[in-house]
């Protein structure tokens, strides 16, 4: 077993209950294998997102993607936080996510962010099935991204995602990020967020 394969195995979630193995294996690396993500593979990810549940089937999600080595890729990078700029350029694909803010009647679509999240959940599981990692990033200047990519009024840039095959070399990262990369994964216990019958205060 290689060091990269061992890292992937070490990142397997230590779950309290048995869950779907792809969910157990999914994690968010900050370094990726150099292998290209093909157009067909990208379309498989978008197809998975396409079939996510959405309120009234409105499908309010939108995506802008860019391949490494292109001007568009560099423009995505320019919109990232300084922290994310340290590592995100190891990914062969960078993706911006967005949602349509209003319904066809012009009302605020309260569920649009929920639906965007469902589509990205589908995409993440499909990616894991293909051996592809997705690192979701909140650290993005969305207002700048709106301008840089000429996003029309009524749509809201939300997050950025680094996409690439698992198997990157942690040694390529700054030392502090390398240490984070090697740490075991953790989550809050179920009792912190699932309440029977009534809300429980923290």
CATH number at residue 60: 3.40.109.10
Look at residue 57 and tell me if it is in a domain.
yes
**Does residue 67 belong to any structural domain of this protein?**
yes
How many structural domains does the chain have?
1
CA-to-CA distance for 101 and 123, rounded, in angstroms?
Answer: 21
**Residue 193 falls within a domain, yes or no?**
no
Phi-psi region of 157 (alpha: psi -120 to 50; beta: other; left: phi over 0): beta
Could you tell me if residue 198 is inside a domain? no
61 occurs within a structural domain: yes
Contacts of 102 (CB under 8 A, 6+ apart): 108, 109, 154
- Start-to-end C-alpha separation, the chain: 43
Looking at residue 38, its pLDDT comes to 97
Residue 197 in domain = no
pLDDT value of position 7? 56
pLDDT, one tens digit per residue, over 44-97 is 999 999 999 999 999 999 999 999 999 999 999 999 999 999 999 999 999 999
Q: Strand, coil or helix: what is 45?
A: helix
Chain-centre distance for alpha carbon 13: 18
For the cut 70, the answer to whether the pLDDT of residue 3 exceeds it is no
Range of the domain at 153: 3-186
User: Looking at the domain assignment, is residue 191 inside a domain?
Assistant: no
Q: Distance between alpha carbon 85 and the CA centroid of its chain, in Å?
A: 16
- Tokens read off for 54: 């959405």
pLDDT given at position 1: 42
Question: φ and ψ at 123, to 5 degrees?
Answer: -60, -40
List C-alpha distances in Å: 82 to 77, 114, 135, 160, 173: 9, 28, 16, 13, 14
Q: Has residue 161 been placed in a domain?
A: yes
pTM of the model: 0.93
């Amino acid at each position: 077993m290689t060091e990269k394969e061992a890292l992937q195995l070490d990142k397997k979630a230590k779950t309290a209950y048995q869950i779907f193995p792809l969910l157990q294996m999914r994690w968010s690396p900050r370094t990726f294998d150099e292998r290209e993500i093909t157009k067909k593979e990208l379309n498989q990810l978008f197809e998975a997102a396409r079939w996510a549940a959405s309120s009234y089937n409105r499908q309010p999600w939108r995506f802008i993607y860019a391949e490494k080595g292109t001007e568009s890729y560099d423009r995505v990078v320019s919109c990232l936080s300084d922290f994310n700029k340290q590592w995100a350029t190891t990914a062969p694909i960078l993706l911006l996510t967005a949602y349509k803010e209003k319904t066809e009647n012009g009302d605020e679509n309260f569920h649009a962010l929920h639906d965007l999240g469902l589509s990205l959940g589908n995409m993440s599981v499909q990616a894991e099935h293909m051996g592809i990692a997705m690192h979701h990033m909140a650290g993005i200047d969305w207002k700048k991204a709106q301008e840089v990519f000429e996003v029309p009024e009524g749509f809201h840039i939300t997050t950025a995602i680094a996409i690439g095959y698992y198997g990157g070399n942690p040694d390529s990262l700054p030392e502090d990020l390398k240490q984070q990369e090697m740490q075991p994964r953790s989550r809050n216990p179920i009792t912190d967020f699932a309440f029977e019958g009534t809300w429980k205060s923290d």
